[in-house]
Structure 1
Amino acid sequence: MHGIGHHWQVWTPVLDLLAERFDVIAVDLPGFGASPPLPPGLPYNAETLAYAVEAFWGRLGVSEPHVAGSSLGGYLALDMASRGVVLSATALSPAGFWSRSELFYGRSVLRLLRAGAMATAPELVGSAVGRAVTGRLLVSKPSRVSDRELVSAAGALRESVGFDDTLDSFLWLAPPAPPKVPITVAWGEHDRLLPRRQAVRAGRWAQQRVLLLKGCGHLPMSDDPELVARVITDGTRELSPAAK
């Protein structure tokens, strides 16, 4: 599960690695990517988005999957673990463990990225300036992200009809109830959107050590897909060992 304003393609670097061991399903959350918006009157928040994903896998005949998510998707994974509807959950830099000032900062950065995506011509997104501004906020190694991926991600952000309402819901987002199944929480060493000091709070909530993803930013799937695949795979066995 992806974060706010993104789409399932953010997981592309990891999918083939995971597919060596699992049947893998990457989703666009309602109102993001290619998924339709939520029905009128249904609010965009973690609860509705999580239940929408659960309804989707139910239609596929899937029961109690292992789940993994990044940022907002990481929060959804932990929420599912707190309700015991999954076998295990892996959360990469999950939302919801911020201080008030960190929430203000994160919301401001996300709004700036959204405004930039809406105002910038597609051909400029992959330019040196566009890569420096958007890439380094989200990944530690922007050179590993192709121009096509940057343009695609900017398009997903620009077209995210659920963005504003979901971002507003962050004001009321609190850590979920304690998990009922094994979880893994991992944080990018160089996360500039949700700084890694939030991992300390996540560790207290989970009552376990949070893994530090060396050399990775907010989207470690691009920075080190092999490491991310290993952390997720280890997490399905129970709790991951320290990431090397």
Structure 2
Amino acid sequence: MTGPRPPALPGRWGASVYECRIGHVRTTPLRHAFDHRTHLWLVDLDRLPPVPAALRPLASFRAADHPGAPGLTLRQNLDAYLADRGVQLDGGRVLMLTQPRALGHVFNPLTLYWCHDPEGTLVCTVAEVHNTYGQHHRYLLPATPATVPKEFYVSPFFPVDGAYRMRLPVPDERLDLTIHLDRPGGRAFTATVRGVRRPAGPAELLRATLRHPFATFAVSLHIRYQGIRLLLRGLPVHPRELRERSRTRRREAPTP
């Protein structure tokens, strides 16, 4: 049984845009730190922003950009993933934090889903990780902070070992996320996301685009640039395991 729908997120489109600073600190075997600015969207999977057709090239939310069956919606695919793990939301709200597809491109190293029951209680959080090899993996967190074993190859400079400790509170006026990677010998890496909410609408979409043009391209390029810097500093590369190569992301079917 489903309860009454919660009120829409603030803003003309029932969504929020967070002006963000994303930080990365690597501590072993050498120290390397950097940060960059971008914007992220918080949307309700049952009330995706009604972006007008003229502005849709700047922001669109497509199921094909995330794991699941291409013919299903974002909500249907997430519900199927949760059902396979014994979690039923019974129609409760799901909030997704992500970067939308823009100018024909999208790359999200991390997409988060906060999953609620019909009464509005947080049931679980899903952390969806994508790497630059076209692969993805989801971590199901019953609550946060939570510690989960690392199961997915992300950076070529870390093997698939250790555990993530994730602190992922539901965003409100501010976005404040922290993920630590603990490996044998101590903490190896920390990522943080800090942001301030702005109500989503046409003016905010245009403002965010002007402040961060080609934002999703910039993320991909920045990751590769930092990788080159680490290679030049002599950091050894850990090759992908064969089992990781089989986890390929479902691509969007071409449109006629």
Give the structure-1-normalised TM-score.
0.26
Give the structure-2-normalised TM-score.
0.25
Larger Rg belongs to? 2
Higher helix share: 1
